[in-house]
């Protein structure tokens, strides 16, 4: 896999990001930490039609390596829908962190989208749509 103009790194040796998750029984909330994952690309490459899809794919693969995505279907969906389409130009789209997308609005971190999709997976059928509002 080529990593031209891409910087992907785990800063787990420096810090971790607290994440709300279900406890072992899947009943209530529990707190855990995940390594922060960052993938960045140059703005000019994004606008020139460069290999942004590859960077999105690398971000998803990184989430898999850390055990944050286990579903093959969620991998397929997250690799198909590029996160950069939902963040302002110039924003580092491939960082596993929530990002400001407007006045008093944020987009959730990629690992949160993966978690929600995996929890919904059994109920979503082909042809159905899901809208994520305020999660």
User: Which tokens belong to 100?
Assistant: 């400001």
Task: Write down the pTM of the prediction.
Answer: 0.61
**48 catalytic per annotation:** no
Helix axes 72-80, 52-65, angle to 10 degrees: 150
Is residue 102 in some structural domain?
A: yes
Within a domain: 89: yes
Residue 116 belongs to domain spanning: 7-120
Contact status, residue 68 vs residue 116, Cβ threshold 8 Å: no
In a domain, 84, yes or no: yes
How confident is the prediction for the chain on average, in pLDDT?
71
Residue pointed to by tokens 């198909």 = 80
Give yes or no for residue 21 having a pLDDT over 50.
no
Say how many domains are in the chain: 1
- Domain assignment of residue 131, yes or no: no
**Does residue 62 surpass a pLDDT of 90?**
yes
* Residue 116 falls inside a structural domain: yes
Question: Is position 125 within any domain?
Answer: no
Catalytically annotated residue among 10, 44, 108, 135: 108
In angstroms, the first-to-last Cα distance of the chain is 33
pLDDT of residue 80: 92
The answer to the question of residue 44 being in a domain is yes
Residue 75: its pLDDT value, please? Answer: 95
Give the model confidence (pLDDT) of 26-39 as tens digits.
444 444 444 445 44
For the cut 90, the answer to whether the pLDDT of residue 48 exceeds it is: no
Q: Please tell me which residue, 52 or 93, carries the higher pLDDT value.
A: 93
Per residue in 73-122, pLDDT (tens digit) is 999 999 999 999 999 988 889 999 999 888 888 899 999 999 999 999 88
CATH of the domain at 87: 3.40.50.150
48 assigned to some structural domain: yes
Question: What is the DSSP annotation of the chain?
Answer: ---TT-EEEE-TTT-EEEEEEE-TTSSSEEEEEEE-EEEE--HHHHHTT-SHHHHHHHHHHHHHHTTS---HHHHHHHHHS-GGGGS-TTS-TEESS-EEEETTEEEPPHHHHHHHHHHHTTT--TT--------
Q: Is the pLDDT of residue 20 over 90?
A: no
Q: Looking at residue 44, what is its pLDDT?
A: 36
For 5, the token pair is 């103009």
User: 12 or 125, which is more confident?
Assistant: 125
């Amino acid at each position: 896999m080529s990593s031209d103009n891409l910087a992907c790194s785990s800063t787990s040796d420096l810090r971790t990001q607290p994440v709300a998750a279900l406890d072992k029984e899947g009943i209530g909330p529990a707190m855990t930490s995940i390594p922060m994952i960052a993938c960045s690309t140059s703005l000019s490459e994004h606008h020139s039609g460069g290999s942004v899809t590859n960077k999105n794919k690398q971000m998803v693969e990184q989430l898999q390596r850390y055990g944050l995505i286990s579903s093959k279907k969620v991998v397929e969906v997250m690799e198909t829908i590029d996160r950069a389409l939902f963040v302002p130009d110039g924003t580092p789209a491939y960082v596993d962190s929530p990002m400001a997308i407007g006045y008093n609005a944020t987009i959730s971190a990629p690992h949160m989208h993966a978690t929600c999709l995996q929890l919904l997976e059994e109920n979503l059928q082909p042809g159905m749509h899901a809208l994520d509002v305020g999660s």
